[in-house]
Every structure is written in structure tokens, then in C-alpha cells.
Amino acid sequence: MPGNGGSASGHPGASFYTPRVADQALVRLADVGFATSGSVILRGVDLTIAAGEILGISGPNGAGKTTLLRLLATLLRPTSGRGTVLGTDTGARPQELAPVRRQIALIGHSPALWPDLTLRENVDLPAGLRHGPADDDPLGAVGLAGVARLKAAHASLGMQRRVEFARLLTWTPRLLLLDEPHAGLDEAAGPLVNHLVTRVTDRDGAVVMVSHDRNRAGSLVTRRLAVAAGTVLEAPA
Amino acid sequence: MTPRAFWKQVGWVFAKDLRVEVRGGVTLRMATPFAALALLLAPLATGADTALLRRIGPGMLWLVVILFGMTVTLRSGNESGPVRDLLTLCGLDPAAGFLGRSLAGAVLLLGVTLVLVPLMIVLYAPEGSPGWGWLALLAIAGVMALGLLGSLVATLVTGLRARTSLGPLLAIPPAVPVLLATARGTDSALSQRGSLSWLLLLVAMNLALVIVGVLLAGPMDETTR
């Protein structure tokens, strides 16, 4: 927030963006911006994320948080500045980005499910594409074993979220990007989110979590940033 | 990516699209019954003029397959943004996605055609015995071209707000040669004449659509996010 650390704009390598947990940078963005249809969504983002870090991001609606996550996922390309994600330039050709993308998981605020397929199929299908079917029962681990044959379209938002978490139990991403992971979830699901996050950081990965719910996300986060009007700012811990 | 991994992805998309289609039931519940009704109603509108019906039968068949088939094949690009993101992060090659969707669309259209061909023969050309071999080859080449075309146009209009109306407008003009080749070829097959030239035209169109689709799939996937 302004006054709580200063703007990141125009300060590549500013000290408050130096990783505090480990020195192996998984993400480096230098003066990165993103604009679309003539409007600037993000500007001057300088950001380094190290292995083991759990970054909490907050900010008002429309500030650019989701765009930042999609840039980190390499699903969007910066329109200005430069960056690397998992060692590969964000402007690289799709063929070069493909191996990087396979190490990234993004859980957005809208669940990525096929509504006509069952919850089990929604777990098994992406697993089949990524690495082959899961050996264990990830749906059981997220409390959905009894409704595995339910169509995703008929599941509640909380159940759909759990399906996405179940997918994360079939592999471990290097970079986990979560957009409002607690949205629609009951209190009992909190430990599940914590488990997924620590699974990633325990294996030298990093997690970026957009959340308005500081109480639920707060205990895990090792560093906080705020996004305001397209700029990324240091936020108080 | 190795060729084996690429074709495995093609198979994955093909199986996934068929499964989604079977569960959603758009082809079975909507396209096929309406296409059959359209084929049934046309003779009622024209009257019992058997010579006229014999002439328009093959054209009516493929016109109905193309128009109702578009509702099936253009649907292939309608996956939500989060699902597209998921597939990209799972490492799906856009060209494999294009080919898998095209194959699934072609199989669904072949199902529609298998229902409509006997109906057309009974209603429009009841006399004589058609060349079933030629009909089968034409149907396979025709639905494959329509599957490729639908998948290509769906890729082009992905992410556009006007994709629902723009898709058919973009797909119909290049579908005209497919309509000509399948309709004329079917007419020849019904008369026990060979349809080789029409079949070769369809094969050439299939090859061209595969090349264009595979080349465009990657760039289009990146630019429509």
C-alpha cells in the first residue's frame, strides 16, 4: 500500500522484493507491465519469488491481481518489461514455455471443470493428460468420495473447489497460484488448503495466493504484497 | 514433444470431447432429431414429385448435415476460459487439441449422417440400389472435412464475444465446396456411377484443412487468451 513500503514501479531489484526465505528465485519480473485494448492493467512490476516462499497478495477488485497471476502462469505475456518464470523467459515461444507450464498449477476464482462430466472424471481426465491416472483416491482425500459420480454442474462451489484441490493431490507443482482459494469453502477445508501449500513449499516450490481473507490465508504467508491501480506494492506483514 | 506423445494427446482430446458430447447430448438430443425432421419436411413442402425429389435428395442430405452439423462442430471451441487455461498448463499441444477436436466432431457428424442417409434414400430416391462403398467413402471424407472446418473456425473465434453468430458465418463459405463434392458425389453413387473425382476433391480439402489448422492452432491459442 502507498506509504507502507512504496511503489515497486521503476525499482527493479528493490530491496523489499529480495527473497527472504531462500535464494533460489523461481520468478523474476523486471518492470513488467500488461495492457490490453488500450487500458493498462499492470505497470512497472518488479518481483522476485524464491523457492519456499508463500506470497500473499491482496487488493481491491479490478486492481490487477488475477492478471498478475496469469502473467506468473505464463498464460499472458507481458506487454512491457521482462521476466523469467522457472528459468524461462516469459516472452519465449510456446514450445519453450510448454515444459514450464507443466510445472505450474493455477486455481482461479472460476473453477476449471467440465460441467457435464462427473467429479471423478474431472480429476482423472487432467491427470491422464499430465501424467497418467492417479494411483490413490484423491477425491476421498478431499471428502468427496461419496459424490464422485455427481455431475460437476450439480455440485456446489465448495465441492467444485475441492475437486480442483483433489487434482493437486495427484502431482506437485513447482509454482502454485491460488486465486481466492478459500472462496466457497467451509471452515473444515482450511487444513486442506494449508496441506496443499506446504506440500509445494516442502518440495522447493513457491505459492502465490490472492486472498481477501487475511485470517484464513494469514498463518501461512511469508510475504505480503498489495496490488493497487495496476502497481504492486510491499504490504505490511 | 515426441510423435507418440503428440498422438496420445490427440487421442485424449478425442476421447474427452466424445465423452463430454455423450453426457451433454447436444448431438443426440438436438442436432440429429432436427436434421431428420428437416429432411422429412422438405418432401411435404415440395409435393410428391419423385423426379424433383430424386434430383434434390443428395443436396438436401448434405445441406442438412452441414447446417445441423455446425451446431456440433462449432461447439468444440466453447470450453470455458479456466478449462482452456487448465489444458494449457497440463501441456496440451494446441495442434493436438485441434486434431482431437476435429476427429471427435467428425465421428459425431458420421453418426448424424448414418441416421440421415437411409432416411434420404427412402424419402427421396427409393428406386434402385446405391453404391454403398462410394457412399461410405464420401460420408467419411465429407464429415472429416466438416469436422476439421468446424474445429478450425471454433479456434479462430474463441474468446470473441460475437463467436456464436460469427462462427457459422465464417464456416459456411468454405463449407460450400464440401457441399458440392458430397452432394454431387452422393448423386453419382445413387446412380451406381463412380464418385472418384468428388472423393479426391474432399481428400484434398481434408489435407489443406489439416495443414492450415495445425499451423494456426498454436498462434491462435496464444493470441485468443
Q: Does B40 touch chain A (CB under 8 A)?
A: no
Give yes or no for residue A19 having a pLDDT over 80: no
Taking the CA of residue B106 and the nearest CA in chain A, the distance in Å comes to 20
Query: What span, in angstroms and rounded, lies between the C-alpha atoms of A34 and A21?
Result: 28
With bands split at pLDDT 50, 70 and 90, how would you rate the model's confidence at B108?
very high
Task: Report pLDDT digits (tens) over A54-95.
Answer: 999 998 888 899 999 999 999 999 999 999 999 999 989 888
Whether B88 sits inside 8 A of A70 (CB atoms) is no
Chain A stretch 64-103, residues whose beta carbon is closer than 8 A to a beta carbon of chain B: 70, 73, 75-77, 94, 98-99, 101-102
Interface probe for A, chosen from B78, B84, B86, B88 (most Cβ of A below 10 Å), is: B86
Is the model's pLDDT at A219 over the cut of 80? no
Q: Which three cell numbers stand for residue A140?
A: 476421498
Give the torsion through C-alpha atoms of B98, B104, B108, B114, to 10 deg.
110
**What is the pTM assigned to this prediction?**
0.86
Of the candidates B121, B129, B133, the one whose C-alpha atom is nearest the C-alpha of residue B196 is B133
Q: What is the pLDDT of residues A171-184, one digit of tens each?
A: 999 999 999 888 88
Range in A24-28, A186-190, B36-40 with the lowest mean pLDDT: A186-190
Quote the CA–CA distance of A141 and A196 in Å, as a whole number.
12
> What pLDDT sits at residue B128?
67
| Cβ pair A75:B85 closer than 8 A | yes
In a mutational test of the A interface, the residue from B90, B161, B216 whose CB has the highest number of chain A CBs within 10 Å is B90
C-alpha cell at B192: 451406381
For residue A151, the tally of other CB atoms under 10 A from its CB is 17
pLDDT at residue A135 in the model: 66
Q: Read out DSSP for B47-69?
A: -S-HHHHHHHHHHHHHHHHHHHH
Interface confidence (ipTM) of the complex: 0.85
CA–chain centroid gap for B78, Å, is 16
The region of weakest confidence among A27-31, A94-98, A104-108, B86-90 is A94-98
Does B214 have pLDDT greater than 60?
A: yes
Residue A117: what pLDDT?
93
Instruction: Give the separation between CA B60 and CA A16, rounded to whole angstroms.
Output: 70
Confidence of residue B179 (pLDDT cuts 50, 70, 90): very high
What is the strand order of the sheet A206-210 is part of?
A104-107, A175-179, A206-210, A54-58, A223-228, A231-234
Q: Are A29 and A80 in contact (CB under 8 A)?
A: no
Q: A50 near A22, Cβ under 8 Å?
A: yes
For position B169, what pLDDT does the model report?
87
Give the helix ranges, DSSP H, for B125-159: 132-157
Percentage of chain B exceeding pLDDT 70? 97
How sure is the predictor about A2, in pLDDT bands with cuts at 50, 70 and 90?
very low
Residue A153 to chain B, least CA–CA distance (Å)? 11
Q: Tens digit of pLDDT for each residue in B165-174?
A: 888 888 889 9
What sign for the dihedral angle of Cα B165, B110, B59, B181?
Answer: positive
Q: What's residue A18's pLDDT? A: 43
Distance from CA of A78 to the nearest CA of B (A): 13
Touching B: A residues 7-46, CB under 8 Å: none
Q: For residue A12, what pLDDT band results from cuts at 50, 70 and 90?
A: very low
Nearest to A114 by CA among B158, B78, B31, B93: B78
Cβ–Cβ under 8 Å, residues A175 and A26: yes
pLDDT, average across residues B95-120: 93
Nearest to B82 among A104, A112, A121 (CB): A112
Distance from CA of B186 to the nearest CA of A (A): 36
Instruction: Give the residue on A whose Cα is nearest the Cα of B22.
Output: A116
Contacts of B16 in chain A (CB under 8 A): 114, 125
Q: What is the pLDDT of residues A127-150, one digit of tens each?
A: 988 877 666 788 998 989 899 999
When scoring B2, B18, B28, B89 by the number of chain A Cβ atoms within 10 A, the one with the most, hence best to mutate, is: B89
Average pLDDT of B96-123?
Answer: 93
- DSSP of chain A: -TTTT-B-TT-TT-GGGS-SS-S-EEEEEEEEEEEETTEEEEEEEEEEEETT-EEEEE--TTSSHHHHHHHHTTSS--SEEEEEETTEETTS-HHHHHHHHTTEEEE-SS----TTSBHHHHHHHHHHHHTS--SS-HHHHTT-GGGTTSBGGGS-HHHHHHHHHHHHTSS--SEEEEESTTTT--GGGHHHHHHHHHHHHHTT-EEEEE-S-HHHHHTT-SEEEEEETTEEEE---
Task: Answer yes or no: do B23 and A113 touch at CB < 8 A.
Answer: no
- What is the Cα Rg of chain B in Å? 18
Q: Tell me if B19 and A128 make a contact (CB, 8 A cut-off).
A: no
Percent of the residues in chain A that have a pLDDT greater than 90, as a whole number: 58
Report, as an integer, the average pLDDT of A193-204: 91
CA atoms within 13 A on the CB side of B79: 27
Residues 184-203 of B with CB under 8 A from A: none
Q: Please give, rounded to a whole number of angstroms, the shortest distance from the CA of A140 to a CA of chain B.
A: 22
Indicate the pLDDT class of residue A13, thresholds 50, 70 and 90.
very low
HSE at residue A50, side-chain half, CA atoms within 13 A, is 12
Phi/psi at A150 (nearest 5 deg)?
-75, 140
Q: Residue B190: what pLDDT? A: 83
Instruction: Extract the C-alpha cell encoding B50.
Output: 419423385
Q: State yes or no: pLDDT of A16 exceeds 60.
A: no
Q: Is the dihedral of CA A13, A15, A19, A23 positive or negative?
A: positive
Q: Assess A168–B contact: CB distance below 8 Å, yes or no.
A: no
CB B156 within 8 A of CB B170: yes
Question: Is A73's CB within 8 Å of B89's CB?
Answer: yes
**In the A/B pair of chains, how many CB contacts fall below 8 A?**
68
User: Minimum mean pLDDT among B160-164, B209-213, B219-223: which range?
Assistant: B160-164
Bridge partner residues of A7 (DSSP): A233
